[in-house]
Amino acid sequence: MDNLQLILNAMVREAVSPQTAAVAIAVIGLNIHFGFTGLLNMGQAGFMLLGAYGMGITVWQGLPFALGILFGFGAALVFALVLGVPTLKLRGDYLAIVTISAAEIIRYVGRSSLLTDFTGSAQGIPGSQYTGPFRDLSFFPSGSLTLLPFNYHDVADGAVWVRLLGWAITIGAVAALVYLLRSGDRFSGVARNGLVVLLTVFTVLLVLFLFPLNYQWTGVSGWWVRFVAWSLVAVCCFVVYLLVRSPWGRLLRGIREDEDAIRSLGKNVFAIKMQALIIGGLFGALGGMVYVLASSVQPDSMGRSLTFFCYTALLLGGAATIFGPVLGTIMFYVGRVFIQQGAQVYVPDSIMNTQEAAWFSYIVVGIALMLLVIFRPQGVLGDKRELRFDV
């Protein structure tokens, strides 16, 4: 029982961690590239790293925080232009090759010992060097907060039956939510949307009741950075919603379907693809900045594997949807922690030690991605009808 509580606690902590939010933002950007425009960007981690370096180096050198954010975005913008100009006129595969190698170049340049004074080479820039100005912005009080303040400890002293009942209700609420979302045609209108929102809020509160989180208000990794990170996720979702419902978003999907058809209708395909590459790259840079706010700028933490995690999360949640990237990222990281912790707790060390459990979780993630693409290619939130005509 206690082991299970431990694993579930770890999962909830991972779900709300700023790193998860940061990757979600990067995946939202990747969704613009891959999901809506069909650009095979294999170097989203490169965009993230540039955002992180832009902000980290600027603040480390004693310049203002706002300027750091600007430099982070600026670096990603230039990167997108440099990558896009030669490749966007070619077939899609070339962009994939160029982006993956360019992202690796960025990482290796960051690791280079020649630049130790700027990038800290392989050691990276410690968070203490640049997160200060960000924490100073906090309007949260000092001390710490447990969310929810009223939790399972307060009911019958946290007895087993309280928790079991709570878990059962949570599973029921999630099942009801899934049912509501999938039965799109039978229920509709305000009542359905209201019910979905209510159920979601109820589920979140219930989860926090069962797995209370305790962090400092404004620590190195406290509520402040979580609040900012998840607010940014919400803002990004809203911006993407505004973009893709517009005629511009329609153009993106048209380009994904058939560039030549769009060209024959008199649209400047190159310019639109470039805009999409830049917008998605800026989201990536923002994700990178958030990623390092609660840790440090380390080139190796934003390598190829992070790009592939982004793709896994995107396909899991559903490409070309608004909330798919966020849901996919949360499911991806929570699932990985579940496998890792589960293997660590229940499999004896003689068979699998802690290190191996971490590797094992990545193996399972890879298999999950394969199964996903085979059996549910549209992801959790995707529209199956769209895939029926895949040619």
Partner 1 sequence: MSEHTNTVSSLADPAARAALTGGFEDAPGAAKPDPILVVDNIVRQFGGMTAVDVQHLEVQRGLITALIGPNGAGKTTFFNLITGFDRPTTAGKGAHWSFDGRTLDKTSASSVARAGMVRTFQLTKALSRMTVIDNMMLGAQGQAGENLFKSMFRPTWRSQEREIEAKADDLLARFKLYEKKHDYAGSLSGGQRKLLEMARALMSDPKMIMLDEPMAGVNPALTQSLLGHIQSLRDEGMTVLFVEHDMHVVRHISDWVAVMAEGRLVAEGSADTVMSNPAVIDAYLGAHHDTDLGDDALLSEEHMQELAEEVAAEEAEREAEEEAEGLR
In the complex, which residues of this chain contact partner 1 (CB under 8 A)?
239, 242-243, 246-251, 253-254, 256-258, 260-269, 272, 275, 279, 385-391
User: At closest approach, how far in Å is the CB of 58 from partner 1?
Assistant: 27
CA distances from 383 to 179, 246, 310, 378, 389 (A): 15, 19, 20, 6, 12
User: At closest approach, how far in Å is the CB of 362 from partner 1?
Assistant: 32
User: At closest approach, how far in Å is the CB of 248 from partner 1?
Assistant: 4
User: At closest approach, how far in Å is the CB of 272 from partner 1?
Assistant: 8
A 10 A CB-CB count for 366 gives: 11
Please identify, using beta-carbon distances, which residue of 114 and 391 lies nearer to partner 1: 391
Q: What angle do CA 108, 135, 329 make, to 5 degrees?
A: 55
Bridge pairing between strands 144-147 and 213-216: antiparallel
User: At closest approach, how far in Å is the CB of 197 from partner 1?
Assistant: 23
Cβ-based neighbours of 342, under 8 Å, separated by 6 or more = 7
Q: What angle do CA 318, 322, 325 make, to 5 degrees?
A: 50
Q: What is the distance between the alpha carbons of residues 190 and 173, in angstroms, rounded to a whole number?
A: 19
User: At closest approach, how far in Å is the CB of 160 from partner 1?
Assistant: 50
Residues β-bridged to residue 215: 145
Please identify, using beta-carbon distances, which residue of 17 and 37 lies nearer to partner 1: 37
Cβ-based neighbours of 152, under 8 Å, separated by 6 or more = 158, 162, 163, 166, 209, 210, 212
Please identify, using beta-carbon distances, which residue of 222 and 379 lies nearer to partner 1: 379
User: At closest approach, how far in Å is the CB of 180 from partner 1?
Assistant: 23
Please identify, using beta-carbon distances, which residue of 59 and 320 lies nearer to partner 1: 320
User: At closest approach, how far in Å is the CB of 191 from partner 1?
Assistant: 23
Q: What is the distance between the alpha carbons of residues 51 and 28, in angstroms, rounded to a whole number?
A: 15
Please identify, using beta-carbon distances, which residue of 282 and 293 lies nearer to partner 1: 282
Please identify, using beta-carbon distances, which residue of 240 and 343 lies nearer to partner 1: 240
Please identify, using beta-carbon distances, which residue of 153 and 263 lies nearer to partner 1: 263
- 297: its two tokens: 């700028």
Residues β-bridged to residue 297: 125
User: At closest approach, how far in Å is the CB of 256 from partner 1?
Assistant: 8
**Taking the chain, what is the end-to-end CA distance rounded to the nearest angstrom?**
50
Supply the DSSP symbol for 269.
H
Please identify, using beta-carbon distances, which residue of 82 and 271 lies nearer to partner 1: 271
Supply the DSSP symbol for 220.
T
Roughly what angle, to the nearest 10 degrees, separates helices 189-210 and 2-15? Answer: 130
Please identify, using beta-carbon distances, which residue of 168 and 265 lies nearer to partner 1: 265
Q: What is the distance between the alpha carbons of residues 319 and 314, in angstroms, rounded to a whole number?
A: 6
Pick the closest to residue 195 from 330, 203, 147, 148 (CA basis). 203
Please identify, using beta-carbon distances, which residue of 135 and 253 lies nearer to partner 1: 253
> What is the CA 270 to chain-centroid distance, rounded?
28
Q: What is the distance between the alpha carbons of residues 160 and 24, in angstroms, rounded to a whole number?
A: 34
> What is the CA 50 to chain-centroid distance, rounded?
17
Residue with tokens 């290190």: 355
User: At closest approach, how far in Å is the CB of 253 from partner 1?
Assistant: 6
